[in-house]
Structure 1
Amino acid sequence: MDKFAEAGKPPQGRRRVRAAQYLRMSTDGQTYSIQNQRDAIRSYADVMGYDIVATYEDPGRSGLHIEGRPGLKKLLFDVEHGLVDFETVVIYDVSRWGRFQNIDESASYEYRCQMAGVRIEFCAEQFGNDGTVGSDVLKAIKRSMAAEYSRSLSQKVFMGQVRVAGMGFHVGGLQGLGLRRLMIDQFGRPKVILARNEHKSLQSDRVIIVPGPPEEVATVRLIFRLFVGSRKTETEIARYLNDRGVANDFGRPWKCGSVRRVLTNEKYIGNNVWNRRCTKLKSKVVYNPPDQWVRADNAFEPIVSRRLFEKAQQIVKSLYLRMSDDEMLAALRNLHNRHGKLSHAIIKAAPECPSGWRYRSRFGSVLDAYRLIGCLPPRQGHFIDLKKRLEVIRYRVMEDLQDAIKKVGGHVSCDPDTELIRINDEFTVVIAIARCRVSHNAYPRWSSKAARETAADIFVLIRMHPGDLAIRDYLIAPMHELAEISGNFHVNNGMKLDAFLFQSLDPLVALAERAFVGSAT
């Protein structure tokens, strides 16, 4: 504000300009709080003679990408579709616009506004965004500095995590069935067992892994005994546990992959292993080679003997020999040539071919592997693309719901592993999506396995219109109301379920809304 301090009042003879303000804060600290930005922009607008007529906000949002920033998306949409009645957008500084790692991305969003006749101004920068050479050079430098700040901060945080993990403390990730996170103070004294979605609040506190409930510990030991002693396969172990009503650590039925996660988790012998995979600056997940893992052996109390665990690893390695992508595809191609077709049963019965799980983990899905060897029928290829498109719609609905709840004062969080949405720490919601299938008598129907498998309190099913291009409605129902449904939802489910059909997720937002109640006089 130094460059305007001498003025103190709007320039004489200039018409007042209608302007909008864009506010963003991640976790940068109080300097960049939403209120501080708002105050600075208001002072700037008073000096310049601007009337702030619209506000776009992204509180608690990272500036690395435009994804997850509904405020900036709405600003661009409104500007490009002629839905605004302002000619300037005022932002605190370049970093609030974004810390995009590619500065051309930052410039592209500003350019889109300029092409629609809306200027971008930064009230706390020491240059006017007027298109002069000096202004453009300084702005490019500021964009680079904003990007470098995120890179530098990310590296510092990563090095701190490496040091803490090397000391044997739990840094992040799932602990696993039969284990719990214990928060301790700086002197090693226990404080409290952390529940899921709970985190330590003091920087001096640390988290270690301790044995969990005895029944979960017994389940883990049973899995190892069945695998090593009885030589049962992972599929057989999963079926054994499910038949006895034993749930995994997410409260879901066991599958082959969840059994394997138990068998290969070194935390069960007390080893702390971190940095198996990483995602820095919102980039894609990268699986690191073993020499980059951070290890601290004997950091926790073991619940499985080291001898038993090592025997399990030998069996796992013999079952899943390391093959390159080309070798895996060649084995699949030879299997197809020999049988003339491919199926899960054919792959499972071929000892020279990796399991379907290995193809899914390496190529995304078994059908994607089929496509790579040129034996995927067009109909199956269509359903792969359809599934991906529906997942995009589902994630957008989940994001919009969380934004709407925050706007009405509710608290919402989403577990990235289970995708359960927790609202006000009172109830959980799971959102599924179903494509529309039309029966032989022309009645639409929808199906969802999630209606039977989820452990949420409320189940939401996004039902698509025929053609699967637009959303038809939302089924929002308590889980106990779906007990009689075998899996298919028809266009007319009867009065009991039709009462839970809505055109939007407003009922959930209304449940989350919090109203201020004044004190009694």
Structure 2
Amino acid sequence: MGSLNSDQGGSSNRKIRKAAQYVRMSTDHQRYSTENQSDAIARYAEERGYEIIETYSDAGKSGLRITGRDGLTQLLEDIQVGQTNFRTVLVYDISRWGRFQDADESAYYEYICKRAGITVEYCAEQFENDGSPVSTIVKGVKRAMAGEYSRELSQKVFAGQSRLIEMGFRQGGPPGFGLRRMLIDEMGNQKGVLVRGEHKSIQTDRVTLVPGPAEEIAVVNQIFQNFVEDNQSEATIAAELNGKGIKTDLNRDWTPSVVRQLLSNEKYIGNNIWNRNSFKLKKQHVRNTPDNWVRSEGAFEAIVDAGLFAAAKAIFAARAQRYSDEEMLDGLRDALQTHGFLSGFVINEASALPSSGAYQSRFGSLLRAYKLVGFTPDRDYRYIEINKRLRKIHAEIVEDTVHGIEHVGGDVQQDAKTGLLTINHEFSASVIIPRCKQTGTGAYRWNIRLDTSLVPDITVVVRMDQANETPLDYYLLPTEDMTLPKLRLSENNGLSLDAYRYDDLTHFFTMCERTSILEVA
């Protein structure tokens, strides 16, 4: 505050000390925005003679656990390997460090800093973090209060969501084949059907389910009749639907598992079911028993007769009871021998096996069933299923892209061997679809390998969502601006890359549009 650095040739009463700041914002309150935290930390630093030389930030991240908090993870990693030029970390308050459910976890991360000779100071707290008995006691209480806040909030949110379910409102997820999401206002008036990708924008609005097109409702009922009255298997039903060119609500081919899900979902008889699985306070995923489900019967207009649905349910129950434990395990051994590995997808797609849910119910978990047949999943085999799905999605996206170009009047030619698109005989484009991967810390990453052999003018990168089910967004990367053949995208990548990000391909199609000179004139 008026003192001079030694570099300026002056003397000072207080030496400027270097510090880093850590800021985190979830969705708690505007007062916890990263900007407000940084302003408060800056005032604290000025009063105490600190120079902030590094910022670690986690925006939109819960403080319940360290998984997914890249900023805090990077801070601790830098400290542990000694790659820091600061001796102090400034944090707004205890809750910004984290709302860990175990107060000792919060203390442990602070201890990592202390062990490396780096102190942590909480700028908005009414105590000095000096290691005194008083500060130790106060920190313990504050950490417990931060965790208790999350527990109380979780209970309130769960109660509110349960109430909405009982009132017949949806809590997210696609509607399903034969159904549609209807947006309604706070007075119960219908505002219109939400198409795929659309969400409510007004907090007081709600979403419920309504019957879809008559032709889809007819297909749903035919599926139930084929299963119950004609005794057809899920595989046979799926094959017939695909043979007729009928797509699912996600515009994909039918599979036995998709047919099974449709036949067992109570929303088709108007029941609203929630809390089958839970992930409270981000501790662990729990498969809840039916007595813990939140349900509202008759919440929607049914499109399937209740008696027909009950008959299908009885068939599933009888099928599960018909197999002894040893018969179920023998079938699992056969599947293991056929595929070389086991997964929920493999089980659900095998018509000779009960569903993966039946195995979970009978043996407590899929992992226990795997163990009983001598299979240890020492690696994640889901990538096989994901890659198979992405290959199919890639073909669909390229086809949609070609149609989109032609729709705006553009001319496009596709190389049958390389897949390279040549547009209007003017520029070329390559379409790649990187899968979403989760790191050990819970962060999401997309690894991109640019096709340097084809050297397209533009690479259309279609990032998949976290489940690798649908496109998340699109990057239009000009080859001349890309200096590296490989890129690793995070959820947020800064202006240098996110300047090329788009929510859809509208901008790309605009580039492909051709207009006659006469029209322009």
TM-score in terms of structure 1 length: 0.70
Aligned positions of 1:486-505 closer than 5 A: 502-505=485-488
Q: Secondary structure in 2 aligned to 1:386?
A: coil
Structure 1, unmatched stretches of 5+, are 1-7, 395-430, 434-447, 465-470, 481-499, 515-521
- Percent identity among equivalent residues? 44
CA offset digits 1:398-432 (Å, max 9, x no partner)? xxxxxxxxxxxxxxxxxxxxxxxxxxxxxxxxx96
The structure 1 residue matched to 2:379, chosen from 386, 391, 397, is 386
Cα 1:459–1:358 change in 2 (3 A) is farther
Which residue is 2:500 aligned to?
A: 511
Distance 1:87 1:206 in 2: 50
Contact 1:88 1:118 in 2 (8 A): yes
Distance 2:36 2:433 in 1: 38
Which residue is 2:153 aligned to?
A: 153
Q: Secondary structure in 1 aligned to 2:31?
A: helix
Which residue is 1:400 aligned to?
A: none
Which residue is 2:250 aligned to?
A: 250
Which residue is 2:433 aligned to?
A: 460
Cα 1:361–1:251 change in 2 (3 A) is farther
Contact 1:320 1:354 in 2 (8 A): no
Q: Aligned-pair distance for 1:286? A: 1.5
Which residue is 1:213 aligned to?
A: 213
Which residue is 1:186 aligned to?
A: 186
Distance 2:154 2:225 in 1: 42
Distance 2:206 2:124 in 1: 38
Distance 1:138 1:336 in 2: 55
- Quick one: which amino acid aligns to residue 474 of structure 1? R
Which residue is 2:65 aligned to?
A: 65
Distance 1:77 1:87 in 2: 15
Cα 1:177–1:364 change in 2 (3 A) is farther
Q: Aligned-pair distance for 1:154? A: 0.5
Cα 1:89–1:335 change in 2 (3 A) is closer
Q: Secondary structure in 2 aligned to 1:146?
A: helix
Alignment of 1:137 with 2:137, yes or no, is yes
Which residue is 1:241 aligned to?
A: 241
Contact 1:168 1:272 in 2 (8 A): yes
Contact 2:328 2:354 in 1 (8 A): no
Q: Aligned-pair distance for 1:250? A: 2.5
Q: Secondary structure in 1 aligned to 2:52?
A: strand
Contact 1:18 1:88 in 2 (8 A): yes
TM-score in terms of structure 2 length: 0.70
Contact 2:332 2:373 in 1 (8 A): no
Q: Secondary structure in 1 aligned to 2:183?
A: strand
Cα 1:366–1:104 change in 2 (3 A) is closer
Which residue is 1:355 aligned to?
A: 354
Q: Aligned-pair distance for 1:367? A: 8.7
Distance 1:359 1:474 in 2: 40
Cα 1:513–1:259 change in 2 (3 A) is closer
Distance 2:91 2:143 in 1: 14
Contact 1:9 1:48 in 2 (8 A): no
Distance 2:84 2:178 in 1: 55
Which residue is 1:419 aligned to?
A: none
Contact 2:329 2:372 in 1 (8 A): no
Q: Secondary structure in 2 aligned to 1:321?
A: helix
- Quick one: which amino acid aligns to residue 318 of structure 1? A
Q: Answer with 87-96 or 162-171: which moved more.
A: 162-171
Contact 1:184 1:191 in 2 (8 A): yes
Which residue is 1:451 aligned to?
A: 391
CA offset digits 1:142-161 (Å, max 9, x no partner)? 11000000000010011111
Q: Aligned-pair distance for 1:47? A: 0.5
Distance 1:508 1:42 in 2: 29
Distance 1:97 1:364 in 2: 37
The CA RMSD over aligned residues, in Å, is 3.9
Contact 1:58 1:69 in 2 (8 A): yes
Cα 1:139–1:463 change in 2 (3 A) is closer
Q: Secondary structure in 1 aligned to 2:51?
A: strand
Q: Aligned-pair distance for 1:281? A: 0.9
- Quick one: which amino acid aligns to residue 194 of structure 2? L
Q: Secondary structure in 2 aligned to 1:387?
A: coil
Q: Aligned-pair distance for 1:202? A: 3.1
Cα 1:41–1:153 change in 2 (3 A) is same
Q: Answer with 213-222 or 80-89: which moved more.
A: 213-222
How many residue pairs were aligned?
413
Q: Secondary structure in 2 aligned to 1:183?
A: strand
Structure 2, unmatched stretches of 5+, are 5-11, 341-345, 399-430, 438-445, 452-458, 463-481, 490-495, 504-521
Contact 2:41 2:91 in 1 (8 A): yes
Contact 2:65 2:100 in 1 (8 A): yes
Distance 1:193 1:70 in 2: 38
- Quick one: which amino acid aligns to residue 275 of structure 2? N
Q: Aligned-pair distance for 1:510? A: 5.5
Which residue is 1:29 aligned to?
A: 29
Which residue is 1:171 aligned to?
A: 171
Contact 2:433 2:461 in 1 (8 A): no
Q: Secondary structure in 2 aligned to 1:236?
A: helix
- Quick one: which amino acid aligns to residue 385 of structure 1? D
Aligned positions of 1:29-428 closer than 5 A: 29-321=29-321, 328=325, 330-332=326-328, 343=338, 355=354, 357-358=356-357, 369-374=369-374, 376=375, 381=376, 384-387=377-380
Q: Aligned-pair distance for 1:177? A: 1.5
- Quick one: which amino acid aligns to residue 306 of structure 2? R
Distance 1:186 1:48 in 2: 51
Q: Aligned-pair distance for 1:107? A: 1.3
Q: Aligned-pair distance for 1:51? A: 0.6
Q: Answer with 209-218 or 221-230: which moved more.
A: 209-218
Q: Aligned-pair distance for 1:84? A: 1.5
Contact 2:19 2:86 in 1 (8 A): yes
- Quick one: which amino acid aligns to residue 227 of structure 1? F
Contact 1:95 1:146 in 2 (8 A): yes
Cα 1:456–1:115 change in 2 (3 A) is farther
Which residue is 2:519 aligned to?
A: none
Contact 2:23 2:57 in 1 (8 A): yes
Cα 1:502–1:88 change in 2 (3 A) is same
Q: Secondary structure in 1 aligned to 2:449?
A: strand
Distance 2:133 2:436 in 1: 53
Q: Aligned-pair distance for 1:478? A: 5.6
Q: Aligned-pair distance for 1:205? A: 2.0
CA offset digits 1:445-485 (Å, max 9, x no partner)? xxx45212465575435799xxxxxx9973677699xxxxx
Distance 2:447 2:37 in 1: 40
Distance 1:359 1:291 in 2: 17
Q: Aligned-pair distance for 1:366? A: 7.5
Q: Aligned-pair distance for 1:513? A: 7.7
- Quick one: which amino acid aligns to residue 184 of structure 1? I
Q: Aligned-pair distance for 1:128? A: 0.9
Q: Aligned-pair distance for 1:355? A: 2.8
CA offset digits 1:260-309 (Å, max 9, x no partner)? 11111111111112222221111222222222222222221111122222
- Quick one: which amino acid aligns to residue 449 of structure 2? Y
Cα 1:148–1:479 change in 2 (3 A) is closer
